[in-house]
Chain A
Amino acid sequence: MSQTAERATQSPRIVIAGGGLGGLSLALALKQSLGDDLSVDMCDPGLNRDPHGDTRAFAIAPAARRMLEALGVWQVVAGRAQPILDMIITDSRLNDPVRPVFLTFDESVGDGEALAHMVTAGDLTAALVTACEEAGVGLKAVGVDGFSVTSAHVDVQIAGGDVLPASLLVAADGGRSRLREQAGIGWISWPYRQSGIVATIVHERDHEGRAIEHFLPSGPFAILPLKPEIGEDGAAIHRSSIVWSERTENVAGLLASDSADLLAELERRFGLQLGRIAFETAPHAYPLSFGIARSFVSDRLALLGDAAHVIHPIAGQGLNLGLHDAAALAEAVVDGMRLGLDPGSAEILDAYESARRTDTTTMGFVTDGLNRLFSNDILPVRLARDLGLGLVDRLPALKRFFIREAAGLTGREPPRLLKGEAL
């Protein structure tokens, strides 16, 4: 009896496997809301690396930004975030002298709000890790090897042989999640036969906060404005991030070509509007695919971010979806624990699943459809979309969809964090 009483006084524990931006946001939201009443452990071997080396840039949509503000971390990175004030999309072929603009997003989503903000993964990770440390999240620079579930808890096996008993395990371990596989959750996926080439580009002229996306037959090519840096001579260094989707069979050749040839290929796509360009970081390529888990939860396990869904980067929504997951799961756990529910109980996991599945599936298929519509050079399809059958009729609805999704307004009542409210 005394042993029972002693155990009852221990706080339940949640283990998050994977220290990406979604997992860190979840850890912080949980710990800030529940304090000593919940132990939160974050396991990721990458936690002992300096996050500032990660120069990947992401577009943070307004809903996700409001959550980061509510968590107190946006304030840390805001000075290094570049607002996207304007967005232009063209449907074009590489050799078109003029790329007709068919869609602009210059109207903002709300009261003068930027469409999105560009931040680097490194800046955001560093701010989240610091905030997690201050909030009392247990940061462990080790991987999770596996887990076993009983009715009352989940034993999380961490690298080195230790076992952490927990109420809930969150698999935030990426698109090829081993924990998802171990849980036996099916994964519906197909490759895009495209690869994404990402790099930071420096250019002569100011981007003026404008994002540009060219829908080229080989795949979308996006130019996303980054915060300028100040050079040694005191002049601004203008920078943008590119996401260059290209047929996979062309990518190896492109990246292997000498830098002058690669730069020439880049210029054909990037255009001349920002003046002379150069690579600031070496380009990296990764294969693009679509994937969605058959379920986002199983017994005492929740999938978060890419472990639950991998989508085409055409609309820059992958990270935003992961942050929406974090907001929804944090809310389900916090509200449930304030009712005395076990944080790994089916009631809480069902609430998370139903909050996220529809939105995620919709976004996955919309981006998949967009990519299919635009990534081809078949004359009738081009004619159809340019004449408006595919485009003009669809675009107002699509545009509304992205604007509403960016504002966190799609689907059911959005999680409170996405409205900028504390939990």
Chain B
Amino acid sequence: MTEGHSSTIDPEEVARFERIAETWWDPKGPMKVLHRFNPVRLAYIRDGACRRFARDPRSARSLDGLSILDVGCGGGVLSEPLARLGGNVTGLDPAPTNIAVARLHAEQAGLAVAYRNETVEAVVAAGETFDIVLAMEVVEHVADVQAFVTACAAAVKPGGFLAMATLNRTAKSFAFAIVGAEYVLGWLPKGTHEWERFVTPDELRAALDQSGFAVSDETGVVYNPLNGTWSLSGDMAVNYMLTAARG
């Protein structure tokens, strides 16, 4: 779309990031399961936002003008669709490579997303708040769940909401983790998910409660390996999502 990229990035770096970007963005590559998971979590976030902010989910710009913080944005697989829906998206990731990959991809796609190599704690310290704060597939990676949830909650603007997706710590998810089934481990390199760090819905609710937030909606998400699609389910034993707002 444009010849040459931002002048602060040197071409060799760009080439390297493009190779990594391919692994993030190839829908049949290592992140295959994440790409397949994307529609169900996007629909969940969109529908939650449309209910809260009285938007029309049938519009292709249903999130127009809403400020969105995507905590742990990785290569931008979630941030970009939210920006296309009209959201003013800020993506945070602790890995500088992810941020570089995400910036490059968004620029090539002609999308404006503010990617920052920062923590949510730093954002809160700066006093920034957002209509929607997302921590999708992140809480299972953090060292201190309570501190992380508190920071995410503090980044939510009055009237806004927090959405989280993660993995439950159950016998079923342990079995899947041990087998290494792709729908538990497939979206991140092997070893990034450690079953002991998975968070139960009760633990997450308690952490939200400590932050003055109450769960407004929760759902399980199940994978159908026969057709490779994810769908919402009452079964929260492995993957689940929830939204929460100031209680």
Contacts and interface: CB of A to CB of B under 8 A. Distances in A.
Interface of A: 1, 3-5, 7-8, 10, 33-34, 37-38, 150-153, 165, 336-342, 345-347, 350, 354
B110 A152 contact: yes
13 contacts: A4-B111, A8-B111, A8-B112, A336-B39, A337-B60, A337-B84, A338-B46, A339-B43, A340-B85, A341-B39, A342-B109, A345-B27, A346-B27
Contacts of A33: 58
B94 interface: no
A8 B109 CA distance: 9
Contact of A338 (B35, B62, B107, B109): B62
Contacts, number: 75
Given A339-B43, A340-B80, A4 B60 contact: no
Interface residues of B, number: 32
Interface string B1-41: 11000000000000000000000010110000001001100
A8 B112 CA distance: 6
A71 B247 CA distance: 45
B42 interface: yes
Nearest to A335: B39
B108 interface: yes
Contact of B81 (A5, A34, A339, A354): A339
Contacts of A4: 106-107, 110-112
Contacts of B28: 346
Q: Lowest 7 CB-CB distances: which A-B pairs, in order?
A: A340-B81, A37-B60, A7-B110, A340-B84, A340-B85, A346-B27, A339-B42
Given A337-B60, A339-B81, A340-B82, A347 B35 contact: yes
A338 B39 contact: no
B59 interface: yes
A341 to B, nearest CB: 6
A356 to B, nearest CB: 15
Contacts of A38: 60
Nearest to A336: B39
A340 B109 contact: no
Interface string B81-112: 11111000000000000000000001111111
B22 to A, nearest CB: 9
Contact of A8 (B2, B25, B62, B110): B110
Contacts of B62: 338
Contacts of A153: 1
A165 B84 CA distance: 17
Given A8-B112, A336-B39, 5 more contacts: A34-B60, A151-B25, A338-B46, A339-B38, A347-B38
Contact of B42 (A1, A3, A340): A340
A151 B84 contact: no
B108 A340 contact: no
Given A38-B60, A339-B46, A340-B83, A347 B112 contact: no
A30 to B, nearest CB: 11
A417 to B, nearest CB: 14
Interface string B37-54: 011001100100000000
A147 to B, nearest CB: 15
Contacts of B109: 152, 342
Nearest to A5: B112
B39 A37 contact: no
Contacts of A339: 38-39, 42-43, 46, 81, 85
Interface in B114-138: none
B84 to A, nearest CB: 4
Of A5, A337, A339, most B-chain CB atoms within 10 Å: A339
A138 B83 CA distance: 26
B201 interface: no
